[in-house]
Amino acid sequence: MSSIATEPVRKVCVIGAGVMGAGIAAQVANAGVPVLLLDIVRDPADRNAVAAGALKRLQKAEPAAFMSKRAAKLVEVGNIEDDLARVAECDWVIEAIIERLDLKHALYEKLEAVRRPGTAVTSNTSTIPLGHLVAGRSEGFARDFFITHFFNPPRYMRLLEVVAGPASDAALVARISDFADRALGKTIVACKDTPGFLANRVGTFWLQSAVNAAFDLGLTVEEADAIAGKPMGVPKTGIFGLVDLVGIDLMPHLKASLTSTLPADDPYHAIAIDHPLITRMIGEGLTGRKGKGGFYRINREAGKRREAIDLASGEYRPQAKPASLPSAAQKDLKALLALPGKAGAYAWAILGATLTYAASLLPQAADDVVAIDAAMKLGYNWKYGPFELIDRIGGADFVARLEADGKAVPEVLRIAAGRPFYRIEAGKRQYLGLDGAYHDLVRPDGVLLLEDIKLGAKPIIRNASAALWDIGDGVAALEFTSKMNAIDGEILKLIGQAVPLVASKFKALVVYNEGSAFSAGANLGLALFAINIAAWGEIEKMVSGGQMALKALKYAPFPVVAAPAGLALGGGCEIVLHADAVQAHAESYIGLVECGVGLVPGWGGCGEMLARWQAAKGLPKGPVPAVSKVFETISTATVSKSAAEAMDLGFLRPTDGITMNRDRLLADAKARALALAEGYQPPAPPTYRLPGAGGKAALELAVAGFRARGMATPHDAVVAGHLADVLTGGEADLVDTVAEGDLLALERKAFLALVRHPGTQNRIEHMLKTGKPLRN
C-alpha cells in the first residue's frame, strides 16, 4: 500500500475529446492535476482544433465542468499525431475515443511504442470486453491496462466502474483507483469483464422493459412516469422523461452494442424490440431535449404549451396531469405493487423483470449485491439499489410472485430464502453474501459516515431539527435534520445546548450532515408566517437568537469545523463563516443569498465577510475596497458553483480544505478538528474601520447606476441601501473603530426594517411559491 502514497498521479493524458473524454479531463484538472487532452487532426492548418474546441465547450458547459478558472488552465490541448509521445510525461493515460475496436487497437499499438512502462493505460469503453481490447498487445501493455468506465457528466456522476483483466497489475489498478477515489471523488465499483458491466447492463434493461410495458399496457407517458418515477425511488423524470434527457437516439446504440455482445440466452434479447413510433421519432429528429422534442416537448407555437406524445397515435397533445396515486403507493413499494389496474401491473412489469435480471447477474458480473446496488445508485441516481428494492418489497413476496407468474427464480434469491439482503447487526450494516452468510459492510479506509455511526449509537442530544453525535476520538458532530436542513429555532436551541456540552466532554466539534443540502438557509416559510401575522417581536428574537448562537460557536473554547456539501445558503453560509476552519466537499454551493428575498444577512454574515476581506492580501489600502467587495458579493446574492469558487469569493479561506470524495468528508473534517484542538485558543473579536456615510453614498451611487442601466430593480435599490448601511458601519466615522457587536446591531436594524417592507414580503412569498426570485 505504501507505493500508492509514494507514487502519486502527477499528470494525466486523456485521448479523445468527445463529451466523455473532455469531461474526464476537466475533472482531473478540478483535482489540481495537469492534464493533456488529445484528439485527432481534422484541420491541417489548426492541428489542435478538435481538442481546443472541446476545451472551449467545457468552459461554457452547463452544469459547469470546471470547478474554477484555475482548473481550466491545467488542461493542455494537443493532437495524437504530434503529441502522442508526450504520454511519457504522464502517469495515467485514459482512452476515451469512439467505440470501435479497430481504432482502439490502432491507437494502443501507437501508445505501446511511446508510453513509459508502468504508466497505466485505461479505456473508458462502455461496451467492449477487456479481452478484446488487449488482444495483440504485449504482455507489459496488458499488465498496465484495464477499464475505467466513467458516467456522464464525469464531474457530477460519482460512479466509476473498474474492470481489471487477468493480466492486469493489481497494484497499479489499486493506485489508479485510489487516485480516482480521493482526487477525482469517485466511488469505485469493481466489475467483472462482462458486457455493459453493471450499471448500463441493468439500466438499459430497466429502460427497455419500462418502455415496452407502457406500450403493452396502453399507458400514457405521463401515467407511466408518475409510476416509474418518484414512487420507485428513481429520478422523478420517470422513464420517458429520462430517455428524453439522455437522448432517444442513444437507445438503438445501447441496444445494438448489448445485443451483439450478450450471450444468446440473455433475457435482454427478448425485450430488445424496436417500437415503430420511436424509430419514426429518431428519423424525424425528435430525439429528446437536445432535439426538436421527445416524448415531451414545449410547443412554442402554442404559447409554450407543455405537450406529450400519444404512444398510440404518435401525435402530440397537451400534457395531462395523471391521477395522483394513493399516498401509501407513493412511499411504499408493496402498496404500489398492490394497486389495482394498470398502475400496479405496470409497477410489477418493470420491477419484477428488472430486479430479477439484476439478481441473475450474480455471480457472473459482480461478486456481491453491494456492487450492483452501488452501481445503480451512483450511475443511474436510483435512491435504492435493486437488492435494496427487493428488501423493500419483501424477498419472500417477490419470489412468490415470480413463481406465480411461472418465472425462473435467480439463484441469489434462492440463497436468500426470504432473508433480507441487508440487515443491521450489533450496530453494523451487513449484507448477504453468495455464501449464504451475512458479512459486515466494510467502508474503505478514510471513509466515515454519520449514517453508519447512527446505526450503533444514540445522539447525545437531539430535537426536531438537529442532533449532536459522538463521532469518536473526542470529536462531536452537529447534524441538522430539518427539511432541506433549513435553520429554525430548534437548531439554534440545540446549538445553545451543544456548546457547554462539547466544552465539557469533547475536544472539538464538526458541523456536518448527510442531507442533499448542508443547509438551504433560515426557514423562509416560518419567517414569512411570522411576517404575515406581524410577529415582529418573534422575528427580532429569531435574528438576535441566531446571532448569539453563531457567536457562541465562534468563541467556544473548542475548535469548530464546518463541513458543508451541496447548498450552504444564507444562514447555512453564515454557519460556515463562523467556523474556525472549513473542510468543504468540492461540490459545495455557498452564498449569502438574502438579498434575493429582499433581506440582508442577519446572523453575523456581513461582519464575518468584512473581516475576511479586510485581512485579505492584495486589496488596495483603506476601508473601502473590502466593503465594496463584500457589498458586490452579497448584493448580487452570488452563490459559488464549487468549493474552489467559494474560496475566490471569500466564503472559504485559502487555508480551508476541500475534499473531493463526498464519503471522505467527515473523516477529513474530523482530522482537521483534531489538529486544531491541540492548544486551541478562541479567536479574538475583530474590529473594523468602516467608511461611514461617505462610503454609503458611493455604494448607493453605484446602485443608482445599475438602476439606470436596468440591471437593478427598484426593490434591489432599497435592499442595497440597507446593506450599504450595515457594511459601511451606519453612522460610523472613518476615525472610529466599529466593534463586532455594533455591526450585529446594524444587521438587526436593517433586517427588521426590511421584513416590514411590502417589496420584501412579496419577494419571500414569490420565492416560497415558485422557487424563483421575484424581480420587483
Partner 1 sequence: MQVYSAPLRDMQFVLNELHTDDGFGDLSAFAEITPELAEAVLTEAAKLCENVLLPLNRSGDEEGCHFENGVVRTPAGFKDAFRQFVEGGWNALVLPAKWGGQGLPEALGKLVEEMICATNVSFSLYPGLTNGAIAAIDAYASDTLKETYLPKMVGGEWSGTMCLTEPHCGTDLGLLRTRAEPAGDGSYKVSGAKIFISAGEQDLTDNIVHLVLARLPDAPRGVKGISLFLVPKFLPDAAGAWSVRNGAHCTMIEHKMGIKASATCQMLFEEATGWLVGEPHRGLEAMFTMMNAERVGVGIQGLGIGEAAYQSAVWYAKERVQGRSLSGTKHPDKPADPIIVHPDVRRMLLTIRAWNEGCRGIAGWISRALDAEKHGETPEVRQRAADLVALMTPVVKALFTDLGLESASLAVQCYGGHGFIRESGVEQYMRDARIAMLYEGTNGIQALDLVGRKMPAEMGRYLRSFFHPVSAFIEENGGEGAMAPFVTGLKRAFEALQGATAMIAERGMKDPEEAGAASADYLRLLGLVAMAYTFAKSVRIAQARLAGGEGDLAFYKAKIDTARFFYDRLLPQATAAFLAIKAGKASIMAMDEAAF
Q: Which cell numbers hold the place of 423?
A: 440487515
Instruction: Report the nearest approach of partner 1 to the CB of residue 605 (Å).
Output: 25
Among 61, 262, 409, 768, binds partner 1 (CB under 8 A): 768
The residue length of the chain stands at 776
Alpha carbons 258 and 174: distance in angstroms, whole number:
28
Q: Which of residues 493-532 bind partner 1 (CB under 8 A)?
A: 525, 528-532
For partner 1, the closer of residues 45 and 533 by Cβ is 533
Instruction: Report the nearest approach of partner 1 to the CB of residue 597 (Å).
Output: 12
Q: Which amino acid is located at 86 in the chain?
A: R
For partner 1, the closer of residues 529 and 632 by Cβ is 529
CB 10 within 8 A of CB 33: yes
Alpha carbons 152 and 21: distance in angstroms, whole number:
10
> What are the CA-CA distances from residue 723 to residues 115, 129, 564, 619 (Å)?
58, 60, 26, 21
Instruction: Report the nearest approach of partner 1 to the CB of residue 321 (Å).
Output: 12
Q: Which residue has the cell 405496470?
A: 346
Q: Which of residues 652-671 bind partner 1 (CB under 8 A)?
A: none
- 572, containing H or E segment: helix 571-578
Among 332, 707, 761, 773, binds partner 1 (CB under 8 A): 761
Q: Which of residues 563-602 bind partner 1 (CB under 8 A)?
A: none
Instruction: Report the nearest approach of partner 1 to the CB of residue 710 (Å).
Output: 21
Of 170-178, 643-651, 668-676, 763-771, which part binds partner 1 (CB under 8 A)?
763-771
For partner 1, the closer of residues 383 and 529 by Cβ is 529
Q: Which residues of 229-266 are buried (b: 16+ CB within 10 A; e: fewer)?
A: bbbbbbbebbbbbbbbebbbbebeebbebbeeebeeeb
Of 477-485, 509-517, 681-689, 762-770, which part binds partner 1 (CB under 8 A)?
762-770
For partner 1, the closer of residues 452 and 538 by Cβ is 538
Instruction: Report the nearest approach of partner 1 to the CB of residue 490 (Å).
Output: 12
- Which class for 150: exposed (0-12), middle (13-18), buried (19 or more C-beta within 10 A)? buried
Instruction: Report the nearest approach of partner 1 to the CB of residue 678 (Å).
Output: 45
Provide, for the chain, the percentages of residues in helix, strand and coil under a 3-state DSSP scheme, each rounded to the nearest 5: 50, 15, 35
For partner 1, the closer of residues 342 and 757 by Cβ is 757
Kindly state whether residue 332 participates in binding partner 1, applying the rule CB under 8 A.
Answer: no
Q: Which residues pair with 582 in a beta bridge?
A: 562
Kindly state whether residue 247 participates in binding partner 1, applying the rule CB under 8 A.
Answer: no
For partner 1, the closer of residues 433 and 525 by Cβ is 525
For partner 1, the closer of residues 222 and 391 by Cβ is 222
Q: What is the CA radius of gyration of the chain?
A: 28
Reference 393, options 352, 425, 430, 346; nearest CA is: 352
For partner 1, the closer of residues 596 and 691 by Cβ is 596
Instruction: Report the nearest approach of partner 1 to the CB of residue 535 (Å).
Output: 5
The residues, any chain, with a CB within 8 Å of residue 537's CB and separated by 6 or more, are: none
Instruction: Report the nearest approach of partner 1 to the CB of residue 349 (Å).
Output: 28
Instruction: Report the nearest approach of partner 1 to the CB of residue 713 (Å).
Output: 15
Instruction: Report the nearest approach of partner 1 to the CB of residue 325 (Å).
Output: 17
- Site for partner 1 (CB under 8 A): how many residues? 16
Instruction: Report the nearest approach of partner 1 to the CB of residue 457 (Å).
Output: 28
Q: Which residues pair with 470 in a beta bridge?
A: 476
Question: Is the C-alpha dihedral spanning 731, 736, 738, 742 positive or negative?
Answer: negative
Instruction: Report the nearest approach of partner 1 to the CB of residue 755 (Å).
Output: 11
CB 351 within 8 A of CB 252: no
Q: Which residue has the cell 492534464?
A: 35
Instruction: Report the nearest approach of partner 1 to the CB of residue 310 (Å).
Output: 19
> What are the CA-CA distances from residue 66 to residues 20, 23, 95, 645 (Å)?
14, 9, 20, 10
Geometric angle at alpha carbon 625, from 619 and 630, rounded to 5°: 105
For partner 1, the closer of residues 207 and 531 by Cβ is 531
For partner 1, the closer of residues 430 and 481 by Cβ is 481
HSE (CB half, 13 Å, CA atoms) of 20? 18
Q: For 293, which DSSP code?
A: B
Report the SS3 class of residue 348: helix
| Phi–psi pair at 36, nearest 5 degrees | -105, 120
Among 136, 218, 685, 758, binds partner 1 (CB under 8 A): 758
Instruction: Report the nearest approach of partner 1 to the CB of residue 599 (Å).
Output: 16
Kindly state whether residue 298 participates in binding partner 1, applying the rule CB under 8 A.
Answer: no
Instruction: Report the nearest approach of partner 1 to the CB of residue 485 (Å).
Output: 19
Q: What is the DSSP string of 32-63?
A: T--EEEEE---BTTBTTHHHHHHHHHHHH-SS
Kindly state whether residue 3 participates in binding partner 1, applying the rule CB under 8 A.
Answer: no
Of 451-459, 592-600, 618-626, 765-773, which part binds partner 1 (CB under 8 A)?
765-773
For partner 1, the closer of residues 165 and 525 by Cβ is 525
Of 208-216, 255-263, 720-728, 758-766, which part binds partner 1 (CB under 8 A)?
758-766
CB 563 within 8 A of CB 715: no
For partner 1, the closer of residues 456 and 758 by Cβ is 758
Nearest 10 degrees: CA dihedral of 363, 368, 374, 379?
A: -10
- 462, containing H or E segment: strand 461-462
Kindly state whether residue 769 participates in binding partner 1, applying the rule CB under 8 A.
Answer: yes
For partner 1, the closer of residues 449 and 752 by Cβ is 752
Kindly state whether residue 534 participates in binding partner 1, applying the rule CB under 8 A.
Answer: yes
For partner 1, the closer of residues 476 and 531 by Cβ is 531
For partner 1, the closer of residues 339 and 531 by Cβ is 531
Among 59, 332, 765, 773, binds partner 1 (CB under 8 A): 765
Q: Which cell numbers hold the place of 636?
A: 448580487
For partner 1, the closer of residues 728 and 760 by Cβ is 760
Alpha carbons 402 and 425: distance in angstroms, whole number:
29
CB 607 within 8 A of CB 686: yes
Kindly state whether residue 18 participates in binding partner 1, applying the rule CB under 8 A.
Answer: no
Q: Which residue has the cell 474546441?
A: 53
Instruction: Report the nearest approach of partner 1 to the CB of residue 725 (Å).
Output: 22
Instruction: Report the nearest approach of partner 1 to the CB of residue 769 (Å).
Output: 6
Kindly state whether residue 103 participates in binding partner 1, applying the rule CB under 8 A.
Answer: no
Kindly state whether residue 752 participates in binding partner 1, applying the rule CB under 8 A.
Answer: no
CB 75 within 8 A of CB 53: no
Kindly state whether residue 617 participates in binding partner 1, applying the rule CB under 8 A.
Answer: no
Q: Which residues pair with 475 in a beta bridge?
A: 508
Kindly state whether residue 535 participates in binding partner 1, applying the rule CB under 8 A.
Answer: yes
The residues, any chain, with a CB within 8 Å of residue 6's CB and separated by 6 or more, are: none
Kindly state whether residue 474 participates in binding partner 1, applying the rule CB under 8 A.
Answer: no
Q: Which amino acid is located at 244 in the chain?
A: D
Question: What residues line the site for partner 1 (CB under 8 A)?
Answer: 525, 528-536, 758, 761, 764-765, 768-769
